[in-house]
Amino acid sequence: MHTPLTEPPAAAEAEHLERQRAAITRLGHELRALVEATVRTAASHDTLHRAADGVRHVTGQLTGRRRARAEVPEVDGFPGGPRMYSPVVGAGSPLAPPVHITPTDDGLIGHCTLGFAHEGPPGYGHGGMSAMLLDELMGQACTAAGTPGLTVSLQMRYHQPIPLETPLHILGRVTGTNNRKIFVTGAITTQADPSTNLVTADGVFIAPDPDQVRALFPGMREEA
């Protein structure tokens, strides 16, 4: 069998991106563990000072070229591809739970567990965190339905507090469209009791026209 001496450029590029994403995911995992340890620890001030010195040292290793404001990272696809640094779904973000999203019959479902870093009232999730989770799921539901859109209205209803350290479901579903307007609903439940809505939301999203897309997202790649 003939074995090529050099890999085709597309395969080499795919392997490079896969390695980058694996490293980003690993660093994100360790950073989330650090953030969670930071907001739960009862360590002494000496230990906290030593930890701060160590973190400053690590931060100093992440220098070199930095991404510009509107640049889409090479490891991402936008819209509709991976978002490695999203504060909701990004495997590389210490802010993200992160949410893992899969399609349903009529929308999307996200799976995540909130930690102490996402706390609002003691023991429960922050209300802004619920809005962020639902905004993302509802926005991605627009993309999955073939009409990517930006949120112009998000009406939240908080029925019961969201428990921390409890597996959750986040749902997003497009219910209708009217020209560029996309109407979307969302809900958060626990995984154990998916019939009890803890938080619900109604949203209006707008599909930007091509001129708005070019003006808002100058870093978006042509093929997107």
Site string for ligand CO8, 68-97 (x = CB under 6 A): -----------x------------------
Candidates 41, 47, 153, 191: give the one binding ligand CO8 (CB under 6 A): 153
Contact 162, 113 (CB under 8 A): no
Q: Length of the chain in residues, anyone?
A: 224
Give the DSSP letter string of 72-114.
PPTT--TTTS--TT-TTT-TT-TT--PPEEEE-SSSEEEEE--
Told to check if 206 binds ligand CO8 by CB under 6 A, we report: yes
| Residue 176 Cβ vs ligand CO8, minimum distance, rounded to whole Å | 13
**Nearer Cβ to ligand CO8, position 11 or 216?**
216
For residues 77 and 174, give the distance between their C-alpha atoms in angstroms, rounded to a whole number.
22
Considering only residues 82, 97, 99, 136, which one is a binding residue for ligand CO8 as defined by CB under 6 A? 136
Kindly determine how many residues on this chain lie close enough to bind ligand CO8 according to the rule CB under 6 A: 18
Of the listed pieces 27-35, 61-69, 105-113, 206-214, which binds ligand CO8 according to CB under 6 A? 206-214
**Coil, helix or strand for 12?**
helix
C-alpha to C-alpha distance for 220 and 223, rounded to whole angstroms: 9
Is 152 a binding residue for ligand CO8 by CB under 6 A? The answer is yes
List C-alpha distances in Å: 194 to 46, 150, 188, 218.
45, 27, 8, 40
The CB-of-54 to ligand CO8 minimum distance in angstroms stands at 34
Residues that bind ligand CO8 (CB under 6 A): 79, 135-136, 139-140, 143, 148, 150-153, 179-181, 204, 206, 208, 212
